[in-house]
């Protein structure tokens, strides 16, 4: 099947690239709502164009979900779900982009745009795969469902309720998760879980207004209070100090350890690529990888207060704030961590610091012995000519728990479009055009293989 | 003399206010250089218009100094200097201003503008005082020198060299410092010294680019490093932890303690005005005032790193920075403190944090028994009908050391235009029109009195 199909896809390369560029040129920033309405409608149209029964489902107080179904030839066929998101991260800082973030310029064999890797490239590859499959073979061997949300980059705040109230729309035998990527040597990575997240903002307030800094001798400083409070959260050995924080972190199984050992990860090469002298605590090898994949974090995403312009301004700012994301691992629960954090701050005398919940997601994992994992591995071997690297979990986050795990639906990544230099969430996000085209064939083959696989 | 003169000034009230509004409407932000050239020329013209021999003196790599002299009738007369600055602090955050910062709107008897209190109101009052004095009396009873710099708000980086290479231009029997202000009960405050300052920026760097925050498990975070480094600088009891920092802080003299006790300061009222529950450590009374006036500080002026927009962005920022001003007291030396800070950071493993010197100023004090102090007190008593409050030192900073103290020139504040709600360095800076007009008469009387005073 493969050679003929891959040739068909390659012949339509320009058309598929143009479709992706058009989608990338439509901004869709969930953090501030830019372009959300336009993009959801564009995605609905793209799915309709490949024969799906597609609709834009409004979400009260949130961004709509695009849902689409494609029927199988045989009524008893299995159903495979695709989870994607049409929203993207903000593009700031804009001055660090070599070409405009929504220009989708092609340069050096890559498409450069916010959302190219995360997640529009993957979404478009799947839509093109369906189109190509139907053109080459006519009927689909199984039913497909697309769930394309618009709030992934702000922590999917409404997806839990959406899935609970639309169980029929999300029901499936398995779900292919949003992405997938190649490692530095070009091997495709298949992951079987995601970290959870607690995203909070802490804000300290002081005097009614910013004051001349001569007042600093006697007027309490919110900036200092925030610094002192943060100092109680994590020590310089990178150990998170909130009581009970690590209590629910699962011990690694023998399967986990075997998977870890099979993951190639050249610490010194990756450090050089990232431009750092070494990783935290000087870790290397399996210890480093274990920390990367299986350990929770407490990261400062943003820090703000007072005068940040050029030169000097002598001011005692009356407000300081910090945005923090905790990446969580099974079986940590973001709402439990939030409560522990609240108690911890109060216990250290920082109870009046305002603590806002901005996002909460549960971690999720699919068992490494699930049949879906085997099917994906086999598909990658056929489509890419090499075995994938299997990650028991990735350090990124997504709503895999609310969409899949709590309904018993296994989920893994599939053939995806990213590479280690994709710079997701950062300036100059990009994917290789070749990876995008190759993923179209890979996804089509996965549809074929999963239809045959043991249920 | 007083009634007649005050009537002359009051008759010209509209004219004097219009002159000040014109000066305030010309921005002159030393931090980024906005309007510096225009403003220095405007000040030169204003001084020329009142009969001074005025010039704009270029400063290599800096903002020009406006210098002006006015001759006395008698050649052997004394010389009184006036120190002022025509530059202002940046006006940000702009959205907190009730009227535009450079509109100089008059509302509720006040002029609202950046620079109204600090320092253009005082400068203009002095220029108007000279004009009125000459119109009413013809000749001046002593020689006057105006030194009006354009870099006070960025720490006067070139004034030390200017004064050293232009000793003839700064030589004087005494110097009236830039401002002066009323307390909450309307009593004028006369201060006899200023704190020094060390202003630094600390910047921590990490990976080559901002990264997806999933990397936070293993990639070092500059934001966290900065937080940990800051935590070593000052403890939650507000004690600065840099070794040797307090070694040069002078003990209070009996005169200092007597002056402190004579300063009215209602802690609870001031706290309520500032919108805070209490002052640091819950201090009140003389202890609070001693800390305010005689203790050095370590204040965070600005804190920046990563994403600061609305909503969430999950990013590991590759840079974080903080702007800190230390207010110093006699006999602390900012360059010594800088070196101690550098060693302290290195000793705590933060030696690779970039430490930039943005401003350094020595503290300065005039002896409370100097004849100038007596003359100013007497002048205020006559012009305002009440004794002034004498501060041995104010918690603000200015280049009193480089312009006066090192040449043995005594210096104090004079009749000034500010009040406790002037919000200097903050949004909605303002002065009362009445205070401005009253200061014009006060300054003229000071010229008269100092000419007669024992040398």
* Token pair for A277: 């002298």
Strand, helix or coil at A136?
helix
Average pLDDT, chain B: 95
Confidence band for B75, pLDDT divided at 50, 70 and 90: confident
Do B290 and B282 meet the contact criterion of CB atoms below 8 Å apart?
A: no
Closest partner residue to B300 (CB to CB) among A280, A283, A306 is: A306
Give the CA distances from residue B346 to residues B75, B205, B342, in Å, rounded to whole numbers and listed in that order.
Answer: 58, 16, 6
What is the distance in angstroms between the Cα of A69 and the nearest Cα belonging to chain B? 31
Q: Residue B144 CB: number of other CB atoms within 10 A?
A: 24
What is the distance in angstroms between the Cα of A446 and the nearest Cα belonging to chain B? 27
* Token pair for A410: 């296994």
Considering only CA atoms, which of B125, B128, B130, B122 is closest in space to residue B179? B122
Residues in chain A: 455
Are B214 and A93 an interchain contact pair (Cβ–Cβ within 8 Å)?
Answer: no
Contacts of B218 in chain A (CB under 8 A): 279-280, 283, 288, 291-292
Residues in chain B: 455
Are A280 and B314 an interchain contact pair (Cβ–Cβ within 8 Å)?
Answer: no
Q: What is chain A's percent helix, strand, coil content, to nearest 5? A: 40, 25, 40
Q: Measured between alpha carbons, how far is B381 from A359 in angstroms, rounded to an integer?
A: 63
Residue B183: φ, ψ to 5°: -85, -175
pLDDT at residue number A179 = 87
Q: Measured between alpha carbons, how far is A425 from B78 in angstroms, rounded to an integer?
A: 68
pLDDT at residue number A406 = 94
With 60 as the cut, is the pLDDT of residue B455 above it?
Answer: no
Query: pLDDT of B367-397, one tens digit each?
Result: 999 999 999 999 999 999 999 999 999 999 9
Do A363 and A194 meet the contact criterion of CB atoms below 8 Å apart?
A: yes
- In three-state form (DSSP H/G/I as H, E/B as E, the rest C), the secondary structure along B48-112 is HHCCCEEEEECCCCCCCEEEEEECCCCCCCCEEEEEEECCECCCCCHHHCCCCCCCCEEECCEEE
pLDDT at residue number A76 = 80
Confidence band for B184, pLDDT divided at 50, 70 and 90: confident
pLDDT at residue number A180 = 86
Place of tokens 């890979």: A442
Do A79 and A144 meet the contact criterion of CB atoms below 8 Å apart?
A: yes
Give the CA distances from residue A300 to residues A317, A398, B44, B230, B399, in Å, rounded to whole numbers and listed in that order.
Answer: 20, 19, 50, 15, 39
Contacts of A334 in chain B (CB under 8 A): none
Q: Measured between alpha carbons, how far is A97 from A103 in angstroms, rounded to an integer?
A: 11
Pairing of strands A211-212, A315-316: antiparallel
| Rounded mean pLDDT, B98-120 | 97
Strand, helix or coil at A321?
strand
* H or E segment and range at residue A432: strand A430-432
- B74 or A64, which is more confident: A64
Percent of chain B with pLDDT over 90: 90
Could you state, in order of their start, the residue ranges of all structural domains in chain A? 2-192+366-452, 196-249+295-361
Residue A47 exposed, middle or buried by CB count within 10 Å (0-12, 13-18, 19+): buried
Strand, helix or coil at A304?
strand
Q: Measured between alpha carbons, how far is B354 from B205 in angstroms, rounded to an integer?
A: 8
Nearest chain B Cα to A118, which residue? B212
Q: Which residues contact B41 (CB under 8 A, 6 or more apart)?
A: B56
Closest partner residue to B31 (CB to CB) among A279, A292, A313 is: A313
CATH 3.40.630.10 fits B2-192+366-452, yes or no: yes
Q: Report CA B436 to chain centroid distance, whole Å.
A: 18
Specify which residues B325 forms β-bridges with.
B199, B299
Contacts of A395 in chain B (CB under 8 A): 214-215, 217
- In three-state form (DSSP H/G/I as H, E/B as E, the rest C), the secondary structure along chain B is CHHHHHHHHHHCHHHHHHHHHHHHCCCCECCCCECHHHHHHHHHHHHHHCCCEEEEECCCCCCCEEEEEECCCCCCCCEEEEEEECCECCCCCHHHCCCCCCCCEEECCEEECCCHHHHHHHHHHHHHHHHHHHHHHCCCCCEEEEEEECCHHHCCCCHHHHHHHCHHHHCCCEEECCCCEECCCCCEEEECEEEEEEEEEEEEECCCCCEEHHHHHCCCCHHHHHHHHHHCCECCCCCECCCCCCCCCCCCCHHHHHHHHCCCCCHHHHHHHHCCCCCHHHCCHHHHHHHHHHCCCCEEEEEEEECCCCCCCCEECCEEEEEEEEEECCCCCHHHHHHHHHHHHHHCCCCCCEEEEEEEECCEECCCCCHHHHHHHHHHHHHHCCCCEEECCEEEECCHHHHCHHHCCCEECCCCCECCCCCCCCCCCEEEHHHHHHHHHHHHHHHHHHHHCCC
Helix residue ranges per DSSP H, A307-363 = 334-347
What is the distance in angstroms between the Cα of A51 and the nearest Cα belonging to chain B? 35
Q: Measured between alpha carbons, how far is A153 from A150 in angstroms, rounded to an integer?
A: 8
Q: How many inter-chain contacts (A to B, CB under 8 Å) are there?
A: 305
Residue B185 exposed, middle or buried by CB count within 10 Å (0-12, 13-18, 19+): exposed
Distance between first and last Cα of chain B: 22
Task: Annotate A382-415 with b (16+ C-beta within 10 A) or e (fewer).
Answer: bbbeeebbbbbbbbbbbbbbbbbbeeebbbbbbb
Are A221 and B300 an interchain contact pair (Cβ–Cβ within 8 Å)?
Answer: yes
Considering only CA atoms, which of B307, B363, B300, B302 is closest in space to residue B330? B363
* Token pair for A31: 């953090």
A62, A312, A316, A324, best to mutate vs chain B, most B CBs in 10 Å: A312
Are B327 and A214 an interchain contact pair (Cβ–Cβ within 8 Å)?
Answer: yes
Taking every pair of Cα atoms in chain A, the longest distance, rounded to a whole number of angstroms, is: 78
Confidence band for B1, pLDDT divided at 50, 70 and 90: low
Q: Measured between alpha carbons, how far is A92 from A429 in angstroms, rounded to an integer?
A: 12
With 60 as the cut, is the pLDDT of residue B98 above it?
Answer: yes
Confidence band for B63, pLDDT divided at 50, 70 and 90: very high
Helix B121-137 vs helix B433-452: angle between axes, to the nearest 10 degrees? 60
Give the CA distances from residue A223 to residues A199, A305, A319, in Å, rounded to whole numbers and listed in that order.
Answer: 20, 7, 7
Q: Measured between alpha carbons, how far is B142 from B133 in angstroms, rounded to an integer?
A: 12
* Token pair for B413: 């504040």
Considering only CA atoms, which of B394, B405, B427 is closest in space to residue B197? B394
A193, A203, A213, A324, best to mutate vs chain B, most B CBs in 10 Å: A213
Q: Measured between alpha carbons, how far is A391 from A192 in angstroms, rounded to an integer?
A: 6
Q: Which residues contact B243 (CB under 8 A, 6 or more apart)?
A: B340, B343, B344
Q: Which pLDDT tens digits describe chain A residue by residue (455 residues)?
A: 678 899 999 999 999 999 999 999 999 999 999 999 999 999 999 999 999 999 999 999 999 999 999 999 888 889 999 999 999 999 998 999 999 999 999 999 999 999 999 999 999 999 999 999 999 998 999 999 999 999 999 888 899 999 999 999 999 999 999 988 998 889 999 999 999 999 999 999 999 999 999 999 999 999 999 999 999 999 999 999 999 999 999 999 999 999 999 999 889 999 999 999 999 999 999 999 999 999 999 999 999 999 989 888 899 999 999 999 999 999 999 999 999 999 999 999 999 999 999 999 999 999 999 999 999 999 999 999 999 999 999 999 989 999 999 999 999 999 999 998 999 888 999 999 999 999 999 999 999 999 988 65
CATH topology for B196-249+295-361 is: Alpha-Beta Plaits (3.30.70)
Q: Measured between alpha carbons, how far is A202 from A321 in angstroms, rounded to an integer?
A: 5
Query: pLDDT of B255-273, one tens digit each?
Result: 999 999 999 988 999 999 9
Q: Measured between alpha carbons, how far is A55 from A52 in angstroms, rounded to an integer?
A: 9
């Amino acid at each position: 099947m493969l050679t003929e199909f891959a040739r068909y896809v390659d012949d339509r390369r320009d058309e598929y690239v143009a479709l992706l560029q058009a989608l990338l040129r439509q901004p869709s920033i969930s953090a501030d709502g830019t372009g959300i309405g336009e993009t959801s409608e564009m995605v609905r149209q793209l799915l309709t164009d490949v024969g799906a029964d597609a609709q834009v489902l409004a979400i009260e107080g949130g961004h709509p979900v695009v849902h689409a179904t494609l029927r199988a030839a045989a009524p008893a066929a299995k159903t495979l779900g695709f989870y994607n998101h049409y929203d993207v991260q903000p593009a700031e800082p804009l001055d660090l982009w070599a070409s405009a973030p929504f220009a989708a310029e092609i340069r050096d064999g890559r498409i450069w745009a916010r959302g190219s890797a995360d997640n529009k490239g993957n979404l478009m590859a799947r839509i093109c795969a369906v189109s190509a499959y139907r053109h080459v073979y006519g009927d689909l061997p199984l039913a497909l469902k697309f769930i394309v949300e618009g709030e992934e980059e702000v922590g999917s705040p409404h997806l839990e309720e959406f899935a609970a109230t639309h169980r029929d729309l999300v029901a499936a035998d398995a779900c292919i998760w949003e992405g997938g990527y190649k490692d530095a040597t070009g091997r495709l990575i298949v992951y079987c879980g995601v970290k959870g997240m607690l995203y909070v903002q802490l804000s300290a307030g002081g005097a009614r207004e910013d004051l001349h800094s001569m007042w600093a001798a006697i007027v309490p400083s919110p900036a200092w209070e925030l610094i002192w409070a943060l100092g109680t959260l994590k020590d310089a050995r990178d150990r998170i100090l909130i009581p009970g924080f690590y209590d629910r972190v699962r011990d690694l199984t023998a399967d986990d350890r075997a998977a870890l050992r099979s993951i190639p990860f050249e610490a010194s090469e990756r450090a050089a690529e990232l431009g750092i002298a070494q990783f935290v605590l000087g870790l290397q090898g399996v210890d480093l990888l274990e920390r990367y994949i299986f350990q929770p974090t407490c990261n400062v995403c943003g820090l703000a207060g007072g005068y940040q312009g050029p030169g000097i301004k002598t001011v005692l700012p009356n407000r300081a704030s910090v945005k923090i994301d905790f990446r969580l691992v099974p079986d940590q629960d973001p709402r439990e961590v939030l409560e522990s954090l609240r108690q911890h701050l109060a216990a250290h005398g920082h109870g009046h610091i305002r603590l806002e919940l901005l996002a909460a997601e549960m971690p999720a994992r699919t068992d490494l012995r699930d049949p879906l994992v085997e099917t994906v591995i086999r598909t990658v071997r056929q489509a890419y000519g090499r075995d994938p690297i299997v990650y028991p979990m990735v350090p990124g986050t997504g709503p895999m728990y609310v969409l899949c795990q709590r309904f018993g639906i296994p989920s893994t990544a599939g053939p995806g479009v990213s590479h280690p230099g994709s710079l997701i969430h950062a300036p100059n996000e990009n994917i290789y055009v070749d990876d995008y085209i190759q993923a179209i064939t890979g996804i089509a083959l996965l549809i074929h293989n999963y239809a045959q696989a043991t249920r």
